[in-house]
Structure 1
Amino acid sequence: MKKPPQRLCIYPKDIVRITGKSERFSRDLIQRIRLKLGKEEHHFITIEEFCNYVGLQEEKVKELIRD
């Protein structure tokens, strides 16, 4: 049986599901992560980068955002 493909990127809706905060908060958080990492506006944020920034375990986050 094939494993479903895993995403690399995290989106505001995922952060809403993880934190329970608003979508606006989630967009702002992604923007703050981009600025800290020196990424441009069109660059994506990976799940790993998100986890490192907020201090959560990557495996637990992946469980919560599984589609």
Structure 2
Amino acid sequence: MLKPIKKEVSCYNGQDDGRIKGGYSVDKGNRFKSEMQSNSIKIKPMKKVIITTGDVQNVIGIGDRQARNIIGKIREYYKKEKHQLITVQEFCEYYGVKYDDICSKLL
């Protein structure tokens, strides 16, 4: 909710200079609140499509070198070239795990 208009302390020197800050109050640690924030559309977070070595490290709990080897084995299994990326779906099929279980670990 927006707070009523009131005088605010200047951002520069910490003293009251009598100005009104954009018609909205300022909360400590936050930027100015606007009407757009209260009426904004909720956007669903996107699911990750591509899996990286960092993701493999987090999901399996291994080191960087092992994660790169796993990505290489998956790339070889699916006959992909070096510049082609590995998807989360391919990773799940290769290891026989559920897609939803992996996605929950990635986000």
Provide the TM-score with structure 2 as the length reference. Answer: 0.60
Determine which of 47, 51, 55 is the counterpart of 2:96: 55
Q: Whose relative contact order is higher, 1 or 2, with alpha carbons under 8 Å and at least 6 apart?
A: 1
**Unaligned stretches of 5+ residues in structure 2:** 1-41
List per-residue Cα deviations over 1:2-58 (Å, max 9, x = no partner).
Answer: 101222100011111111111111110000000110100000000000000011111
Which stretches of structure 1, 4 residues or longer, exceed 4 Å deviation after superposition? Answer: none
Do residues 22 (structure 1) and 47 (structure 2) align?
no
Whether 1:39 aligns to 2:80 is: yes
Give the count of matched residue pairs.
66
Q: Which runs of 5+ in 1 are unaligned?
A: none
Structure number with the higher strand fraction is: 2
Structure with the largest fraction of helix: 1
Q: SS where residue 60 of structure 1 aligns?
A: helix
